[in-house]
């Protein structure tokens, strides 16, 4: 299974955010172990660094980026990706960019705990628990 992982799920693991960290960590481990291939939008790295730096320190922020680079594939973002995101109906450009990346990379699903952010999109959007169930089948 090839999945795009929403930034919030990554932050749940990196910042040990309860109550979501356990499930998010299991999904991360499934990607790390090759049971699924996890993808992250390139733009998510700046968000991860910024939030981790703001809540911890620069060393933890850099470590968070390195951990993601070591585990996940990166969806490159170019002009056509940005234009595709702009054409999507959603009001959140960051979410639209993730959808555009999932389409561009022909991914099976977007994994997010905020399914309301991905209503009526042309890519399957599932929760971490559903993703884990599918991966373990």
Q: How far apart are CA 5 and CA 101, in angstroms?
A: 11
pTM of the entire predicted model: 0.94
The CATH number covering residue 61 comes to 3.40.50.1010
Domain interval for residue 23: 2-136
- pLDDT at residue number 86: 97
- Overall average pLDDT of the 46-66 stretch: 96
Render pLDDT for 85-134 as a digit per residue (tens, 0 to 9): 999 998 899 999 999 999 999 999 999 999 988 888 999 999 999 999 99
pLDDT score of 84 more than 90: yes
Backbone angles phi and psi of 107, in degrees to 5: -85, 155
Q: Please count the structural domains in the chain.
A: 1
- pLDDT at residue number 27: 98
């Amino acid at each position: 299974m090839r999945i795009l992982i929403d930034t919030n799920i990554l932050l749940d693991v990196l910042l040990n955010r309860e109550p979501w960290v356990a499930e998010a960590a299991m999904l991360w481990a499934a990607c790390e172990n090759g049971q699924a291939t996890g993808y992250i939008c390139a733009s998510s790295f700046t968000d991860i660094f910024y939030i981790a730096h703001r809540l911890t320190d620069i060393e933890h922020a850099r470590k968070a980026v390195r951990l993601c680079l070591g585990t996940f594939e990166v969806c490159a973002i170019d002009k056509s990706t940005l234009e595709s995101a702009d054409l999507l109906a959603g009001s959140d450009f960051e979410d639209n960019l993730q959808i555009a990346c999932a389409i561009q990379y022909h991914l099976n699903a977007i994994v997010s705990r905020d399914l309301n952010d991905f209503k009526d999109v042309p890519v399957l959007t599932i929760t971490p628990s559903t993703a884990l169930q599918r991966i373990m089948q």
